[in-house]
Structure 1
Amino acid sequence: MKKLAVCLLLPLSTFCFAEEPRTNVVNFNTTASREVANDVAYATLFVELSDHDPARLAEQVNRALAAGVKQARESGAMQSVRTAYSTFPVYNKSQQQEGWRSRGELRLSSKDFPVLSRLIGNLQKPQSGTPLQLAEIRYGVSDLARKKAEDALIEEGVQAFRSRASLLQKSMGGKGWKLLNLNISSNAANPMPYAANYSLMKSAPAAPAPVEGGESRVNVTVRGTIQIAE
């Protein structure tokens, strides 16, 4: 077997040594996965208004958002309550500006699905101000639940990797194998979000949104390189 000569150049001397080339090196990966119940819901509601006066428009949108934030915080079950605001000019067919349009968003997250569902219904009711409209609801796995699932899947993935390595060793007639490197990664595939049907919302009274979390598939992939001994 040929050896490779590797030299190190130092200020006062040069050292050379022979390095055995790596043979019977195999790269492969294994994947472990499971379905995990989504335990967090993310809802986005919005208000969108137009006016010739940008200051009055901002006041109307901010008032609607403030009322929504107040209700959300009073529910006592929200993990996060955030808002977003954007304004853009409105032009007529002659490309002349004729006003402004603003959109304010209320973004909520909660692990209490029934409370969130009722809150969404209440925020869409025209009680004492401008009602909000539902844009979408998304679902996900909390950090704690994801970590618990990933810890179990790492054990499964590594065991599957070792079993595959032993199978490769046997198939190649090797005496044994050693691990050269290992990489572990994970990801979760979430379901499609629930999107509101605005054409139906305009004609139907506001009602609690259907908050059904479903499940997400959590995957752990173990990638590595082994060398099989002859």
Structure 2
Amino acid sequence: MRSLTRLAAALALSSAALASLPTLADEARYNQIALRAEVNQDVAHDLMHVTLYSEVQNSDPAKLAAETTQTLNIAVEQACQVKNVSVKLGSRNSYPIYDEKGQQITGWRERAELRLESADFATLSKLTSELLKDLKMGSMDFAISNPSRKKSEDELLKEAVAAFKARAQLATEALGGKSYKLVNLSLNSAGFQPIRPMRMDAMAGSMSMAKAAPVPEIEAGTSEVTVNADGVIEVQMP
């Protein structure tokens, strides 16, 4: 009786294994294709960054530091009185100046930066021209603010999905399939093209000599925002 019971159990297990084979076959995936769709949009820069700096030298490092600090304090106080402008100090470095033989220290040079940011281009341009009486221009560049970036990415996300669907349908037809199933899909933002700051060193000398530099005309430009849709589809054949 025990042998018959064991045989019956073995037959039952074998039947169950055979019955599961069609299920495993159904779960196997074939005709899978990896696709990518990319959409982009030019977004206007709505943030302006300006870097100004003080650079002087003195044989006495203590007097040099005091002079630099005083120049920065005056500039910061003036900038902080202007609404809608973000003000912060940048890098500050001092280094020795050597004689022609490079052996004896003859003096010290110090450079300190003041960084300004604003969405109000006209206001920041005016402030910059006023500060150039005592400071020099380091750079001026433009960027896209976080709210503008997010808005653009949200719009592009819908376009990226639509573009992926169109490409998936095209690939299905090229293979002679009747339809397709979406296996997976990921959406990613490629960010912006690198910002190229406008170097103003060549203009710094003439600007600093004037009582107040003329306010420049601003052309902020744009950056390209890109969203990629990467996914895998499974083509259903007739």
For the superposition of Structure 1 and Structure 2, which TM-score range results when normalised by the shorter chain?
0.7 to 0.9
- Aligned twin of 2:111: 103
Q: Which moved more, 1:165-174 or 1:21-30?
A: 21-30
- Aligned twin of 2:66: 59
Displacement of 1:21 in angstroms is 5.4
- Aligned twin of 1:195: 199
Matched, 1:33 2:40: yes
* Alignment deviations for residues 154-195 of structure 1 (CA, whole Å, 9 cap, x no partner): 000111001110111111112322222222222112553222
State the alpha-carbon separation in 2 of the partners of residues 225 and 88 from structure 1.
57
Whether the aligned pair in 1 keeps the contact of 2:156 and 2:226 (CA below 8 Å) is yes
Going from structure 1 to structure 2, the CA distance change for 1:92 and 1:46 (only over 3 Å counts) comes to same
Matched, 1:113 2:117: no
Alignment of 1:14-33 (within 5 A): 22-33=29-40
TM-score, with normalisation over the residues of structure 1?
Answer: 0.83
Whether the aligned pair in 2 keeps the contact of 1:58 and 1:102 (CA below 8 Å) is yes
Number of aligned residue pairs: give it. Answer: 209
Alignment of 1:183-222 (within 5 A): 183-186=186-189, 187-198=191-202, 200-203=203-206, 205=210, 206-222=213-229
Whether the aligned pair in 1 keeps the contact of 2:178 and 2:236 (CA below 8 Å) is yes
State the alpha-carbon separation in 2 of the partners of residues 179 and 80 from structure 1.
50
SS at match of 2:192: strand
Going from structure 1 to structure 2, the CA distance change for 1:222 and 1:80 (only over 3 Å counts) comes to farther
Whether the aligned pair in 1 keeps the contact of 2:137 and 2:204 (CA below 8 Å) is no
* Alignment deviations for residues 2-51 of structure 1 (CA, whole Å, 9 cap, x no partner): xxxxxxxxxxxxxxx96765432212211111111111001100111112
Matched, 1:223 2:222: no
SS at match of 1:159: helix
SS at match of 1:157: helix
Q: Match of 2:180, as an amino acid?
A: W
State the alpha-carbon separation in 2 of the partners of residues 90 and 78 from structure 1.
36
- Aligned twin of 1:156: 159
- Aligned twin of 2:11: none
Q: Which moved more, 1:158-167 or 1:63-72?
A: 63-72
State the alpha-carbon separation in 2 of the partners of residues 105 and 166 from structure 1.
55
SS at match of 1:210: coil
- Aligned twin of 2:168: 165
Going from structure 1 to structure 2, the CA distance change for 1:210 and 1:59 (only over 3 Å counts) comes to farther
More strand by share: 1
Displacement of 1:220 in angstroms is 1.1
SS at match of 2:81: helix
SS at match of 2:206: coil
More helix by share: 2
Structure 1 unaligned residues grouped into runs of 5+: 1-16, 126-130
Structure 2 unaligned residues grouped into runs of 5+: 1-20
Alignment of 1:61-76 (within 5 A): 61-76=68-83
- Aligned twin of 1:123: 131
- Aligned twin of 1:134: 137
- Aligned twin of 1:92: 99
Q: Which moved more, 1:28-37 or 1:205-214?
A: 205-214
TM-score, with normalisation over the residues of structure 2?
Answer: 0.80
What percent identity do the matched residue pairs reach?
Answer: 34
What is the alpha-carbon root mean square deviation over aligned residues? 2.1
Query: Which structure has the larger Rg over C-alpha atoms?
Result: 2
State the alpha-carbon separation in 2 of the partners of residues 104 and 201 from structure 1.
15
